[in-house]
Amino acid sequence: MHDAESPTAESGDAIAEAFAVVARSAPEIRDGLAGRRGKTDGRNASGETQLAADVWADDLLEERLTAIDEVGQFASEERDDVVDAGDGEYAVTVDPLDGSSNLKPNNTMGTILGVYDADLPAPGSHLVGAAYVLYGPITTMVTAREGEVTEYVIESEARRASEPSSGDEPRDDGEVRRRAVREDVTLPADPTVYGFGGRVPNWTDRFADYAGDVEEELKLRYGGAMIGDVNQVVTYGGVFAYPELDSRPEGKLRLQFEGNPIAYIVESAGGASSNGKESLLDADAEEIHQRTPVYVGNEDLIERLEAEF
Ligand code: FDP
């Protein structure tokens, strides 16, 4: 466990505080999903229908993350504009419920956090921390900062009371325990899985060629929520893509909320990222809801993609 993540060291450490807020909120978000599977009348800035769960998780994280003294800006995939949170030097971005179209069929989803040390929109080179929560059979959280990636299991008080102790040293965030289960996470050197989004007939020829090669070597693992699919790659090695499409060269995923934080985590874990020509972390940030093709995974697989493009 890092010192910076002990409850006392968190005060004044905006990155650790933001991680702790997301960890603490995760069981609550998860428990609140069941009653919020329906659609609202609203659409987010990208024109997508919002679920009650999207709006609720967004409000909850906005309130808690903007309460951190050092946070000066908050932005979310679910709201049009950047929220001014005061004089703090950090800007936080969230995708409150990544993969929320998986809520109806009760499949995996996630929450994504980015902490930037610059005003938004900001390039990924200004990320100083990023994390994601995966609401799978177990709630896990992967954090990255200063080149170190850690995977935690998140357990709430109620859940813990009914489970036998693992014997590991507990780590309390109020009523929530974050237990490190993997430190110094790195992508396995010998990759085994791939997951590619978008409809196959809409793929560009050059991406379809690349996909054809990858399919020969790796096995398909695709669940339709980026966090779930990226976590497969972080765990087993391989490549995840939501690629450029003929109908939409800019792809689907958002640079500030999805592409950059995921690139930061995967690169911190020894992998690579690309938008097709350069690391996502080097891409210009022009607009808060800007989309980008996303390719992340083992270095060799991303280098091959860039070479074939
Ligand atoms: P969702 O629309 O369900 O929120 O950007 C969000 C995302 O899911 C990603 O999590 C996922 O990888 C992708 O979109 C799935 O898009 P498709 O439905 O086009 O496959």
Which of 43, 77, 101 is the pocket-test mutation for ligand 1 (most atoms within 8 Å of CB)?
A: 101
Does ligand 1 have an atom closer than 6 angstroms to the CB of 244? no
What number of other Cβ atoms are within 10 A of residue 247's Cβ?
10
Strand intervals (E) in the chain: 39-43, 49-51, 71-76, 83-84, 90-98, 109-116, 127-135, 139-145, 148-156, 172-173, 176-182, 193-196, 219-220, 238-242, 272-274, 294-297
Does ligand 1 have an atom closer than 6 angstroms to the CB of 98? yes
Residue with the smallest CA separation from ligand 1 atom 14 is 99
Does ligand 1 have an atom closer than 6 angstroms to the CB of 253? yes
So what's the pLDDT on residue 168? 47
What ligand 1 atom has the least distance to the C-alpha of 110?
Answer: 10
Whether omega before 121 lies within 30 degrees of 0, making that bond cis, reads yes
How far is Cα 194 from Cα 239, in angstroms, rounded to an integer?
Answer: 5
CA of 224 to the centre of ligand 1 (A): 6
Does ligand 1 have an atom closer than 6 angstroms to the CB of 100? yes
Which of 98, 230, 240 is the pocket-test mutation for ligand 1 (most atoms within 8 Å of CB)?
A: 98
pTM surpassing 0.95?
Answer: no
Coil, helix or strand for 247?
Answer: coil
Whether 39 and 29 have beta carbons less than 8 Å apart is answered as: no
Phi, psi of 141 (to 5 degrees): -140, 135
- Position 49 confidence tier, pLDDT thresholds 50, 70, 90: confident
So what's the pLDDT on residue 179? 94
**Greatest pairwise CA separation for the chain in angstroms:** 53
How far is Cα 40 from Cα 25, in angstroms, rounded to an integer?
Answer: 22
CA of 153 to the centre of ligand 1 (A): 24
So what's the pLDDT on residue 7? 33
Which of 252, 257, 258, 260 is the pocket-test mutation for ligand 1 (most atoms within 8 Å of CB)?
A: 252
So what's the pLDDT on residue 284? 97
Q: Inform me whether the pLDDT recorded for 133 exceeds 90.
A: yes
The pLDDT tens digits of the residues spanning 217-275 come to: 999 999 999 999 999 999 999 999 999 999 999 999 999 999 999 999 999 999 999 99
So what's the pLDDT on residue 44? 84
What percent of the chain shows pLDDT beyond 70? 91
Question: End-to-end alpha-carbon separation of the chain, Å?
Answer: 41
What ligand 1 atom has the least distance to the C-alpha of 101?
Answer: 3
The pLDDT tens digits of the residues spanning 140-190 come to: 999 999 999 999 999 987 554 445 444 444 445 558 889 999 999 999 999
CA of 99 to the centre of ligand 1 (A): 5
Of residues 165, 168, 164, the one with CA closest to residue 152: 168
Supply the Cα-derived Rg of the chain in whole angstroms.
Answer: 18
Whether 90 and 74 have beta carbons less than 8 Å apart is answered as: no
So what's the pLDDT on residue 192? 98
How far is Cα 299 from Cα 34, in angstroms, rounded to an integer?
Answer: 39
CA of 226 to the centre of ligand 1 (A): 7
Phi, psi of 239 (to 5 degrees): -145, 135
The pLDDT tens digits of the residues spanning 59-112 come to: 999 999 999 999 999 999 999 999 999 999 999 999 999 999 999 999 999 999
Does ligand 1 have an atom closer than 6 angstroms to the CB of 197? yes
Bridge-based pairing of strands 71-76 and 90-98 is parallel
Q: Inform me whether the pLDDT recorded for 6 exceeds 60.
A: no
